[in-house]
Amino acid sequence: MTRVRWQAGVLLAAVLFTSGCFRHTYRVQKAPAVANVKSATLDELIKQIQGRFDAIKTMNASVDIVASTGGSKQGKVTVYTTFSGYILLRKPEDLRVLLLLPLVHTRAVDMVTDGSTFKMLIPPQNRAITGTNEVTTTPSKNPLENLRPSVFYDSLLIKGVQPGELVAITSDERVIQVDAKKKEMVSEPDYDVSLYAQKNGGVELATHRVIHIGRSTLLPYAQDIYDSEGRVATRATYEGYQKFGDIDFPTRITIERPLDELKIAMTIAKL
């Protein structure tokens, strides 16, 4: 009896997979592989990342910034007016983010840090926020007030391997849109460089960052920064690379803070 049931099951499966009545095929957009794919070893990628970081000592960037807050947790998204402004950076950790009000061009936000403490002035609200570069108190209900200069610094400049970190490399691929008007898509292989640290000297590893590098250019297109609980605290994406002197630098940087439901889209007009 068991053998009969088994044979009946095999026969049913054969019918389902061979009969046109039991399947449906539909078209999806093709994503051909990119024409040129470059290769690099982990050591070469680490040297390139560190080289780009070391090449920038100071920065004076004119930017346009669009911020949005909210998402599925709040059930709504609020998009703020575009602010023009400047990002001034000087290593090792000095940073100033100055955003101007539209039309009148007076200060909307002025954030300054020396790497350990920071001050954020909000003149339209006659407010000042001071503290460390980390949110150590109860976070504000307004995600913008939880922003710290380190979010901008770490997103603008991708650091190399830090002392005590372990490094691993994996490979994957992504589908990207190369022409928005024609809706053309291509498939690009990538390298994912992950940076870890040992927890208390044991076998458990804590993920610090993952740097995603496209193999058509060997330039980073995204960086995931994790918090101490292993959650993605910041995800930065990089587009529109241009040469500024001898340095390849993205002209469009999007910073997402998924835990805060905050997104900052930054366009660099001048560097």
Amino acid at 139: P
In this prediction, residue 91 carries a pLDDT of: 93
Q: Are 129 and 146 in contact (CB under 8 A)?
A: no
In this prediction, residue 240 carries a pLDDT of: 94
Q: Give the closest residue to 251 by CA, choosing from 234, 263, 237.
A: 237
Torsion of CA 87, 150, 235, 254, to 10 degrees: -10
In this prediction, residue 142 carries a pLDDT of: 74
Q: Are 71 and 148 in contact (CB under 8 A)?
A: no
Residues of the chain with pLDDT under 50: none
pLDDT in tens, 113-166: 988 888 999 998 898 888 877 755 556 777 777 788 889 999 999 999 999 999
In this prediction, residue 183 carries a pLDDT of: 74
Which tokens sit at 180? 């928005």
Residue with tokens 């339209």: 124
Torsion of CA 267, 51, 191, 154, to 10 degrees: -50
Contacts of 155 (CB under 8 A, 6+ apart): 223, 234, 236, 253, 255
